[in-house]
Amino acid sequence: MNSGANSGGRSDAASPLGDRYKVVRELGRGGFGQTYLAENLSRHNERCVVKEFVPRLEDKAMIEKAKELFSREANALYQLNHRQIPEFHELLQVETEDSGRLFLVQEYIEGPTFQQLLQQRKNAGGRFRESEVTQLLYDLLPVLSYIHSIGIIHRDISPDNLISRRDDGLPVLIDFGSVKEIAAAVRSQLSIEGVGPAVTRIGKVGYVPPEQLSTGNADPTSDLYGLAATLLVLANGKDPQILHDTLHGTWSGFDTLSPKLGAILEKMLQVDPTNRFQSAEEVLAALSSNEAVQNAPAVSSGAIYPPVGMATPIDTAPQAVFDEHMHSEAMAYEDATVVPISAVGGQRMVDPEDVSSTYETTLAEANVHEPDIGENLERREERQALIPLLIMLGTLGTLLLFAWFRLRRPAAPVVAETPNPAVSETVVDRSGFSLEEAERKREIRDRREVLGLGENTFIRLVDQLYYAKYPGQLTSGPDGGRKALTTAPEDEPLRIRWDETALNLLSTLESNISARSLQGLSSYSENDRARWQSDVNSVNVGTRALYDLADAKFLRLFPDRAGRDFLEQPIGQLYYAISDDRARAISDGSARENVDFADTLRQEFDRRLSPGDGRVYLLELTAGQLLRLNLSAPTESTLLSLYLPEPTEDNPAVFADSEQTTWSGSIDQSGYYELVVVNTSDAAIDYQLTASVDNVTTAPPVAPVREELPSILGEEESDGEETTTDTDSEATESSSPE
């Protein structure tokens, strides 16, 4: 990491960041000036965030003094080295003929903020689940422990300053208030007024503890307060102004959470800093303990999990380690009894791609408690009613035998021990699961059964997605091997993540794949692909168009699969299920439209496509006609393909998977041309398509097109006439939207 300031060179009016950085767009404007999204031209156009630190100064000596003060005050910021904190790259000096400016250059984190995610949930009438809130707590406490250990207080934790990183879904802590504090100190020492209002308070109202709001003082408990306020807002879907009674210093909304989590957040939100947990370690210890949380002055606690100063072990392995484990033989998909990863208690670990070592594991082989994804909860509850009676009979029998053989005086009456209230509130059965966790597993089971998914099939899918997101677990077990998930308290963060992966997958399946197609999971084969080809061919559509629609939907739902060979993996069955749905939609006409030029030579269509959806237009044309196409849609939101009626190995399409929106050219074959439009953006789009033909013999110049991109399934399945790709991996990479 750079430790000194660098000059960005001369700046002109069109380039406020000098000649090394190109402004992509302005991200915001605050009390310290402007913030830009920029590209570093000297590092292959790597994107970064550039924040104004010191505004335009005419005195070059003051610029040098500001750099000196920053280096002295912000040395700790350059030491930050955590995967959930953006890296500070440099202090950028930009000079003009008569002045200079200073900017902070930081790593750019791509993804939505949790404020944006919360708004999306609220728009849909929802909020964050408790398991998501708990997972966030586990994910962020080690980050706070790390920055506090090197003397940095964030000071401004809120949903706006947490980003869900698009690559791996981990929360990233951004926009350190301590940077603003340093900037204010530098300005004060240099007597710089700045370009905006003077910054008198660091942090957002509602998330800042009272002492920081009134005096500006902050310590580690201030960050814990902001984190708890953030989590309570996410869990309730309500602004802090609604949840916080500022007059009495109390918060509401804990009743939407389990007693344990509610008590932990309530203690983090105490008005008096001495009554809060005093460190992130203490909060982690409370999360891992069955002891009741007392909202009183905090006391030191013992060992914690995960380790302080680093992300949890499952997050640290490189992607290459995961990829090494993901290549395997073709899988069998029988729904035999298996042990789900969320319930394994031994040291044997599942491999998401190896059926022989994973999905044939029986309960006897594992020698652990029975799998509990929800199926056995009711039975265990019934058995629990018999436990007191069995205990009483066993105790009585023991006493009688003792008296008979020893001829001693009768034993004293046995008094049942009063249960520990804290334990009785958090433990549901012998597994040690909390009530909230048991209910979560029950929800997973119920929703899975509604979709008609076999348990084994579902577990395979979740395991693959889980390992893809947390590849570090493949190497965090004994001797660098795979670590088993147990029911022990220290494995609760891992179980939460597995359950969250399962719940998110269920939501994806419920919203995007029909129940009819889902019921075919684990059984799709080459026979189904042949059936789809026959079905779409019967309505004059080729399999190229079918797989264009399937590719768009699948890669929209699972973008990390692009460029990988996954068809023989569990997730490949989801691609087949999507293909089944798309084939049916083409056959019944819901994703297909005939363009008839019999009455008019110009046809216009106004349509709407959801993210990942597509539509096939059939144009019956005659050789010699001139075809003109125009697609009006949001920028970089669509891919367009035009397939020939009689494709050959050298000439399968006019163009395919092209980002162009206009085309004109002479038709040299007679028959049905397939025009395919797919939405590759993250939002629904409205588009207008115009197609017109002229019976002329001279065509205008043909617009350049990109080389055709084959489907995920390769070309060998497309009507039996197209070329064959070298590998499925190459085909997948080619077909991914850009």
**46-79 per-position pLDDT tens digit:** 899 988 776 555 556 666 666 666 666 566 677 7
In order of 249, 369, 458, 713, the CA distances from 581 in angstroms are 54, 39, 19, 16
A 10 A CB-CB count for 706 gives 13
Instruction: State how beta strands 21-30 and 671-679 pair.
Output: unpaired
Distance of alpha carbon 670 from alpha carbon 624, whole angstroms = 9
More confident residue, 703 or 163: 163
The one-letter code for the residue type at 681 is S
Average pLDDT over residues 319-334: 42
Average pLDDT across the chain, whole number: 75
The yes-or-no verdict on residue 286 having pLDDT over 60 is yes
Given 139, 156, 581, 657, which residue is catalytic? Answer: 156
pLDDT score for 642: 96
The yes-or-no verdict on residue 510 having pLDDT over 60 is yes
In the residue annotation, 168 being an active-site residue is answered as no
pLDDT score for 398: 58
Counting other chains too, the contacts that 727-732 makes at CB distance below 8 Å and 24 or more residues apart are 727/565, 728/565, 728/566, 728/567, 729/563, 729/564, 729/565, 732/561, 732/562, 732/563, 732/564, 732/565, 732/566
Of the given ranges (90-99, 115-124, 677-686), which has the lowest mean pLDDT? 90-99
- Residues 456-467: pLDDT tens digits? 999 999 999 988
- What is the pLDDT confidence band of residue 294, given thresholds at 50, 70 and 90? low
Percent of the chain with pLDDT over 70: 64
CA 601 to chain centre: 47
Please give, one letter per residue, the 3-state secondary structure of 517-531: HHCCCCCCCHHHHHH
- What is the pLDDT confidence band of residue 357, given thresholds at 50, 70 and 90? very low
- What is the pLDDT confidence band of residue 342, given thresholds at 50, 70 and 90? very low
Which pTM does this prediction carry?
0.65
User: In b/e form, how buried is each residue of 247-268, taking b as 16+ CB within 10 angstroms?
Assistant: eeeebebbebbbbbbbbbbbbb
Distance of alpha carbon 218 from alpha carbon 340, whole angstroms = 45
Average pLDDT over residues 518-546: 94
pLDDT score for 188: 63
The yes-or-no verdict on residue 195 having pLDDT over 80 is no
- What is the pLDDT confidence band of residue 718, given thresholds at 50, 70 and 90? very low
pLDDT score for 372: 38
3-state helix, strand, coil in the chain (%, to 5): 40, 15, 45
- Closest C-alpha to 717, from 501, 512, 551: 551
- Residues 115-168: pLDDT tens digits? 999 998 898 888 999 989 999 999 999 999 999 998 888 988 999 999 998 878
- Residues 12-39: pLDDT tens digits? 445 677 778 888 888 876 655 678 898 9
pLDDT score for 409: 43
Q: For residue 717, give the 3-state DSSP assignment.
A: helix
Check the CA dihedral 181-34-204-84 and report its sign: negative
251 phi, psi to nearest 5 deg: -120, 150
Peptide bond just before 306 cis, omega within 30 deg: yes
Average pLDDT over residues 443-465: 93
Of the given ranges (110-114, 205-209, 415-419), which has the lowest mean pLDDT? 415-419
- Closest C-alpha to 5, from 96, 84, 95, 86: 95
Q: For residue 690, give the 3-state DSSP assignment.
A: strand
Q: For residue 275, give the 3-state DSSP assignment.
A: helix
Of the given ranges (309-318, 413-422, 431-440, 654-663), which has the lowest mean pLDDT? 413-422
The yes-or-no verdict on residue 632 having pLDDT over 70 is yes
Average pLDDT over residues 660-679: 94
Of the given ranges (16-20, 367-371, 710-714), which has the lowest mean pLDDT? 367-371
More confident residue, 39 or 199: 39
CATH dotted code for 520-738:
2.60.120.380
- What is the pLDDT confidence band of residue 429, given thresholds at 50, 70 and 90? very low
Of the given ranges (202-206, 258-262, 450-454, 639-643), which has the lowest mean pLDDT? 202-206
The yes-or-no verdict on residue 720 having pLDDT over 70 is no
pLDDT score for 349: 34
pLDDT score for 378: 47
- Closest C-alpha to 417, from 394, 393, 388, 382: 388
Query: Which residues make beta-bridge pairs with 663?
Result: 629
The yes-or-no verdict on residue 304 having pLDDT over 70 is no
- Most confident listed range (111-115, 326-330, 579-583, 698-702): 579-583
Tokens read off for 516: 């009819």
Check the CA dihedral 330-334-337-340 and report its sign: positive
- Residues 211-235: pLDDT tens digits? 888 888 889 999 999 999 999 999 9
The yes-or-no verdict on residue 669 having pLDDT over 60 is yes
The one-letter code for the residue type at 383 is R
Distance of alpha carbon 473 from alpha carbon 719, whole angstroms = 43
- Most confident listed range (198-202, 464-468, 579-583, 733-737): 579-583
- Most confident listed range (122-131, 367-376, 699-708): 122-131
- The full set of domain ranges for the chain reads 319-378+427-512, 520-738
